[in-house]
Amino acid sequence: MSTATESDGETALDAAQKRVSRPLLRLFRSYGRLEWRWLALGLVTSALAYGSVLVTPIVLGTTIDAVFTVESAYRLPLVPTAWLPAEPAGQFWLSVAIVGVALGGGAVLQWVRGVAMNYFAHGVMYAIRTDAYERMQRLDMAFFDSGWSRDEFDDIEEQVGPFFANRFSRAHADPPEGECRDAYQFYSVWELAETFSKVYQVQNRGEKLRSVREEMVSTISEQLPPASERPTVALVVFNPEEKTFGTYEINGPGFSKAHYRPLEPVGAFADSDKTYANNYSAIDLEQMLEVDPDVIVHHWDIEPSERYEALLALEDDPVGKKLSAIQNDRVYVGGTPMQGPIFNLFQLETAAQQIYPDVFGEFQGVGETPEDNRLFDRQRVADIVNGDS
């Protein structure tokens, strides 16, 4: 977004920083309150540590004047005279003990101060990064395509942290018009995982997980039934109030359907112009009955939702009960399109069992796959994730 200040060499981020008054107070109020105990401990031990530094010169000065030069009486600040020894030898060894305790205690206090302030700083930093990430997720991604220049993106990356935004790879949708549209690059799940793994410096884990997936896809491909024997599959989102369906092309591009494409299902809406990738206009029960898919998969559901339960309840609807998928109990939750590499492994296995139960075993529910029907080794994946492989 172009601003007048940029002509003077000032970026939008610089201008925003100037608009914030009392930044440190605002920072503490927003992110430091939950860590106040660590801050309080750090401040108290800091004061005590600096106080202990003053003890040594005061005690040494008193000891020299009272014990060695005998120019004055032996007196210590804040200590009643009755508590002090009368003999020079006793006064000397008391001074040695006080100085030793002050030096040792000061060192301990400095260590505690460092630990406390470190915990406070890390807590605040974590809260800021978490909040920034959550706010970025809630933003309409068109915000980033409404005029931000490449320099402003670079400014965020240099002054704030790594900047990731690839909203449109999910369905290969066209980004809004702007500077980034023509150069926008689409990524697969595994290409995105590779990018993130570089940030976290664990590149080999992404590569190993991808190997698990490739072996899994190879196993599945070898067992797929002929195209003529595959069921028609409808990927939908059900609207219970209007009893309509939002439809998706199950073999469409994007990482949102990465767990379906290897299965090469017959898409019920392959030729439709009303899917999410096109006009995304809903179809009603009568129109769904005209398609009458063998399998209905409810998109966005990892576990049964209210919409999914309402979809199952169509068995009591005069039109809905005629759907073959309803009659044959072939209605399933479809997982989330917002998947990473590990989710993709589980969702690919789930989809294989939902669409081809005679080949890969019947779907038993999320997390309930019998060991004999598992299509990848859980322990192998766990070892990769934990860095043990």
Structure tokens at 308: 């999914």
Which percentage of the chain shows pLDDT scores above 90?
A: 50
Nearest Cα to 274, choosing from 235, 309, 302, 312? 235
What angle, rounded to 10 degrees, do the helices at 36-63 and 88-138 form?
Answer: 160
Is residue 65 pLDDT above 60, yes or no? yes
Question: Do 163 and 157 form a contact (C-beta atoms < 8 A)?
Answer: yes
Is residue 284 pLDDT above 60, yes or no? yes
Is residue 4 pLDDT above 60, yes or no? no
Instruction: Specify the 3-state DSSP secondary structure of 102.
Output: helix
Question: Do 333 and 304 form a contact (C-beta atoms < 8 A)?
Answer: yes
Min mean pLDDT across 51-60, 96-105, 145-154 is at: 145-154
Helices then strands, counting H and E runs in the chain, come out as: 13, 6
Q: What is the arithmetic mean of pLDDT over 60-77? A: 86
Instruction: Specify the 3-state DSSP secondary structure of 86.
Output: coil
Is residue 134 pLDDT above 90, yes or no? no
* Start-to-end Cα distance in the chain: 46
Question: Do 300 and 237 form a contact (C-beta atoms < 8 A)?
Answer: yes
**Cα–Cα distance between 354 and 360 in angstroms, integer?**
9
Is residue 280 pLDDT above 90, yes or no? no
Instruction: Specify the 3-state DSSP secondary structure of 389.
Output: coil
Share the mean pLDDT of the chain. Answer: 87
Structure tokens at 61: 């000065």
Domains in the chain: boundaries: 4-138, 209-385
Q: Does domain 209-385 have CATH number 3.20.20.210?
A: no
Instruction: Specify the 3-state DSSP secondary structure of 239.
Output: strand
- Under 8 Å CB-to-CB from 273, ≥6 apart: which residues? 279
What angle, rounded to 10 degrees, do the helices at 203-223 and 378-385 form?
Answer: 160
Q: What is the arithmetic mean of pLDDT over 205-216? A: 93
Highest mean pLDDT of the ranges 30-34, 270-274, 310-314: 310-314
